[in-house]
Amino acid sequence: MIRKSTRQNVSSLQAEMMQLAFGHFREQAICVAATLGVADQLADGPKSAEALAGATGAHPRALYRLLRALTTFGVFAETDDGRFEMTPLAETLQSDSPSSLRPLLVLLGQSFHWGAWSHLLHSVKTGESAFEHGHGQRFFDYLVAHPDAARVFGEWRTRQTELQVSAILDAFDFSRFRSVVDVGGGHGRLLSAVLKDHPGMQGTLFDLPEVIEVAQQPELTGVADRCRKVGGSFFEALPSGGDLYILKTVLHHWNDDLSVQILQNCRDAMAERSRLVVIETVVPGPNMVHASKLMDLNMLVLYHGGRERTSNEYRALIERAGLTFTTIVPTRSPLSLIEARRG
């Protein structure tokens, strides 16, 4: 049983809630710094706000105020002479840092993305997409109509896979398969890593034609001769005959009926010996802390019926599609690999 607040801890609870409620201030400040490329400008040493403003096209005093605010939680540091310098946390804002999250932060700072969250109340009251409510069209239709937004989204998807790929490779035995079809595989970062780890394997990268057209270097470096690129929709027929079909972070964008349709199309393309692996976050039980629970709100806000799911919910989708659930393999990332076979 949770105890009620006492007079002594009310003020600390209020302070904690205010910190939580002001989170969007911090988020947008970080996103603006990432979009301007401030961390890249500081790679060779401290600089004044005036010098940084000249390099980034910002207003000098306004940029100073931004950077001063960011120092309060460890993103950048201000020197005694009023210049700004890097901190370990700021390295995540650098474009070429191994720890870079800049593509994510640029995406989160885009008005088409964060603006949708201002309609969260609409989603919670209706169960409908806040993005559709605010923009008048579905998220992926918006990307088709706005190539710059599609580029920003695609850059984060590629970087996201880069951050996750080693955990996936460590958790799953890909050596069992001779050929792999990556369905909705984007620019091919995951498929490329799998093929590099298994020199005798053949791969097929399947995604929308406009996505496939830009799936070139550097993602497919060294494996292009073993990777064919096929354009199409996973709501239609898929390339047939693969030993393994991969759906990485695809199903969480779609409602149950559309997810079953995607799974059925995978089943139709699979041979009897084939396997399917669905790579998603799996929502754990009550009160367990997990990234999937907050990400599920993002799915509610952005997508038409998108959601994160529990293990039982994924099993139900798989069985509705005529596939047989076999196992769930956790990784050291928030992702799990949900394996199924045909029949």
CA-to-CA distance for 24 and 21, rounded, in angstroms? 7
252 is catalytic: yes
**Among 113, 119, 252, 253, the one annotated catalytic:** 252
Residue 281: both structure tokens together = 């976050």
Cβ neighbours around 49 below 10 Å, total: 23
- 336 bridge partner residues: 280, 330
Strands 77-78 and 227-231, by their bridges, are unpaired
Alpha helices in 129-255 (DSSP H): 130-135, 139-145, 147-171, 189-197, 209-212
Three-state SS for 36? Answer: helix
- Using alpha carbons, list the distances in angstroms from residue 246 to 64, 69, 180, 239, 315: 46, 43, 7, 12, 16
Which residues, in sequence order, are CB contacts of 324 under 8 Å at separation 6+? 318, 340, 341, 342, 343
| Contact predicate 149/109, CB 8 Å | no
Backbone torsions φ then ψ of 91, nearest 5 degrees: -60, -25
In whole angstroms, give the CA distance from residue 64 to residue 53.
9
Say how far residue 80 (Cα) sits from the centre of its chain: 38
Contact 61, 67 (CB under 8 A): no
Report the 10 Å Cβ neighbour count for 253: 19
300 close to 306: Cβ distance less than 8 angstroms: yes
Report the catalytic residues. 252
